[in-house]
Amino acid sequence: MADIQLENITRRFSDGTVAVNQLSLEIHDGEFMIIVGPSGSGKSTALRMIVGLEDVTEGRIVIGGQDVTAKAPRDRNLAMVFQDYALYPHLTVRENMEFPLKLRKAHKDERNEKVERAAKTLEIEDLLDRKPAQLSGGQRQRVAMGRAIVRDPAAFLLDEPLSNLDAKLRLQVRGELADLQRRLGATMVYVTHDQVEAMTLGDRVALLRKGVVQQVASPKELYLSPANIFVAGFIGSPAMNFFPARVENGRVRLPMVDYDLPEHIRARARVLESRRVTAGIRPEHFEDIALVGTAQRAEGIRFTAKVDRLEWLGSELFVYFKVTRQGAREGASSGLREVASELREAGVRAEEEEQTVARIDPASDVADGDDAEFWIDTNRVYYFDADSGENLLQIEDQMTDAEQREAAQADRKPEETTTATQ
């Protein structure tokens, strides 16, 4: 196996379209890296550039310490599994799996040994004499993986390999694929538009938007600390709710309620008060007030809203209600408007749409049409720059000590500065 380094790679087509723009990514040896993004984000193009099926306009690709930017696909020692599996219908499973070894002119004994070993790993030994038409979708996916495994590649590249499977089979095969990667200790680069696959499979996830990396992080970090409003809206289902907000004198004003900044971010009020703000609240950070303990209530704020619709799923309850965005035009988020169309398939709710969804305890007694009282965990509210979309608390975290001292000095009152000078 080997590591893969993408160094500022760009793919520009003849008509001037830029599919991938200055993409830099380091994929470690044995890592399961996910590249995720909406349609048109450049994720499949990036994968095809790694394997050599797309030219690199700028930058370079290094695999196992060797620059392979100008090398043909056959010289990169990579195995690719496509969305449609690309099996030869007239060949048996065994013949499909040994095909790349035949191209290498490997001896028959070597071919048989590698095919048998891969088939055992994938638990398809009893399918070797069948043809693809006699297999289920999950079995065809395993055969495609087996054909890749026998090559002993430096890395596996997978382009949405589960998208043709039904939901139940996709769940099963996803688990099998994760187990396989751990057993092989293989370097895998997996492209998908499905955030569930991204969050459950990857060691790290690279989220692309219009060919540009928005954030590279572990699934947990991507969810808990999104770099910007695009990441926050794309990751999470149902998607994050966004509201115009104003922060003044350490107090946050949302359309439905006001509250004091929590103690742990009060020192950062300067950053929030100096900008137009969009607040983000995930559905799971709401709750029916009747189900919130007395001690916990003090950690949040309560408000009342009329329930428009309920979705009871047994283990969870989704409550939909409208929140009047008073002052929404004044505080409208250009950053959110810019990405809203790309996030629509993820279910993002823009400020202007007024629809809010809460994921609450299914034991709740709220009903359609109720004026219900809800609770927000104010410790879990996100704050984004309404224009750039950046996570404002992360901006504060990334400031150097010198920058923070300079900002603190600028915030001091004139008389304090005069006293200090004297």
Q: What is the CA radius of gyration of the chain?
A: 26
**pLDDT, mean over the chain:** 88
- Rounded CA separation 409/8 (Å): 38
Ranking 1-15, 76-90, 196-210, 304-318 by mean pLDDT, the lowest is 76-90
Q: Please count the other Cβ atoms lying within 10 Å of the Cβ belonging to residue 247.
A: 22
Q: 219: alpha, beta or left, given left = phi > 0 and alpha = psi -120 to 50?
A: alpha
- The helix or strand, by DSSP H or E, that contains position 318, with its residue range, turns out to be strand 317-322
316 plus 363 within the same structural domain: yes
Weakest-pLDDT range from 55-59, 204-208, 268-272, 412-416: 412-416
Print the domain residue range for 374: 238-406
> Does residue 412 fall inside a structural domain?
no
Domain end marker among 196, 224, 252: 224
Confidence of residue 396 (pLDDT cuts 50, 70, 90): low
CATH code, domain with 120: 3.40.50.300
Mean pLDDT of 199-204: 94
Q: Is the predicted pLDDT of residue 415 greater than 70, yes or no? A: no
Cα 395 from Cα 390, distance rounded (Å): 8
Question: 327 and 251 in one domain?
Answer: yes
Cα–Cα distance, 380 to 313 (Å, whole number): 24
**How far are the Cα atoms of 55, 60, 68, 153 from residue 71, in angstroms, in the given order?**
10, 11, 5, 16
Match 């997978």 to its residue by tokens: 158
Residue range 310-325: mean pLDDT, rounded: 89
Whether 8 and 142 map to the same domain: the answer is: yes
CA gap 317, 372 in Å, rounded:
14
Stronger pLDDT, 150 or 334, i.e. the higher one: 150
The answer on 168 and 265 residing in a single domain is no
The secondary structure of residue 385, as a DSSP letter, is: E
Mean pLDDT within 36-59? 95
Q: What is the pLDDT of residue 408?
A: 46
Residues 273-291 pLDDT 10s: 989 999 999 999 999 999 9
Chosen domain end from 224, 259, 289: 224
For the ranges 59-63, 132-136, 196-200, 410-414, the maximum mean pLDDT occurs at: 59-63
pLDDT score for 350: 56
* Torsion angle in degrees (nearest 10) through CA of 351, 354, 359, 363: 160
Q: With beta carbons less than 8 A apart as the criterion, state whether 89 and 132 touch.
A: yes
> What are the φ/ψ torsions at residue 189 (nearest 5 degrees)?
-120, 120
CB 282 within 8 A of CB 360: no
Task: Give the pLDDT score at 403.
Answer: 45
Mean pLDDT value across residues 193-214: 94
Q: How confident is the model at residue 354 (pLDDT cuts 50, 70, 90)?
A: low
79, 82, 160, 194 from 164: Cα distances, Å: 20, 11, 9, 12
152 and 179 assigned to the same domain: yes
Mean per-residue pLDDT for 75-95?
90
Q: Report whether pLDDT(346) > 80.
A: no
Helix-strand-coil split of the chain, %, nearest 5 = 40, 30, 35
Q: In the structure, what pLDDT confidence band is assigned to residue 7 with cuts at 50, 70 and 90? A: very high
Q: What does the longest C-alpha to C-alpha distance in the chain come to?
A: 91
Q: What is the pLDDT of residue 167?
A: 80
* Coil/strand/helix, residue 319: strand
| Residue 414: pLDDT over 50 | no
Confidence of residue 421 (pLDDT cuts 50, 70, 90): very low
Q: What is the spatial distance between Cα 414 and Cα 85, in angstroms, rounded to a whole number?
A: 69
* pTM recorded for the entire structure: 0.85
Q: What is the pLDDT of residue 340?
A: 80
* 166 and 78 in a common domain: yes
Residue 345 predicted with pLDDT over 70: no
Instruction: Please report the pLDDT score of residue 176 as a whole number.
Output: 84
**Same-domain pairing of 385 and 313:** yes
Distances (CA, A) of 248 to 23, 24, 277, 325, 390: 39, 39, 11, 18, 19
- Give CA separation, 167 vs 122, 171, 201, 249, in Å: 21, 6, 16, 49
pLDDT tens column, 98-146: 999 998 899 999 999 999 999 988 889 999 999 999 998 888 888 988 9
How far apart (Å, rounded) are the C-alpha atoms in residues 396 and 265? 10
Q: Look at residue 252 in the predicted model and tell me its pLDDT.
A: 95
Domain match, 45 and 179 both: yes
Question: Residue 352: CB partners within 8 Å, gap ≥ 6?
Answer: 325, 328, 332
**Shared domain check, 256 and 216:** no
pLDDT at 141: 86
- Which residue type does 274 have? S
Token pair for 48: 């095809």
Pair 170, 250 in one domain: no
Is the same domain home to 181 and 32? Answer: yes
Q: With a cut of 80, say whether residue 351 has pLDDT above it.
A: no
- Does position 385 have pLDDT exceeding 70, yes or no? yes
Sign of CA dihedral 244, 249, 250, 255: negative
| Domain presence at residue 219 | yes
Q: Rounded CA gap, 221 and 32, in Å? A: 16
**Domain presence at residue 90:** yes
- Give the pLDDT band (50/70/90) at residue 326: low
More confident position, 317 or 172: 317
Instruction: Determine the Cα–Cα distance for residues 143 and 141; give it in Å rounded to an integer.
Output: 5
Domain co-membership, 8 together with 145: yes
Mean of pLDDT values over 340-363? 77
44: pLDDT confidence band, cut at 50, 70 and 90? very high
Distance CA(118)–CA(332), nearest Å, equals 56
Count other C-beta atoms under 10 Å from residue 369's C-beta. 11
Question: What dihedral do alpha carbons 90, 96, 98, 102 form, nearest 10°?
Answer: 50
State what percent of residues in the chain have pLDDT above 70: 89
The 3-state secondary structure of 4-34, one letter per residue: EEEEEEEEECCCCCEEEEEEEEEECCCCEEE
Rounded distance between C-alpha atoms, residue 81 and residue 83, angstroms:
7
Do 194 and 43 touch, CB atoms closer than 8 A? no
Helices and strands in the chain, H and E counts:
14, 20
Instruction: Please answer whether residues 19 and 45 qualify as being in contact, where contact means their C-beta atoms are separated by less than 8 angstroms.
Output: yes
Structural domains in the chain (count): 2
Q: Greater confidence, 176 or 293?
A: 293
Amino acid at 127: L
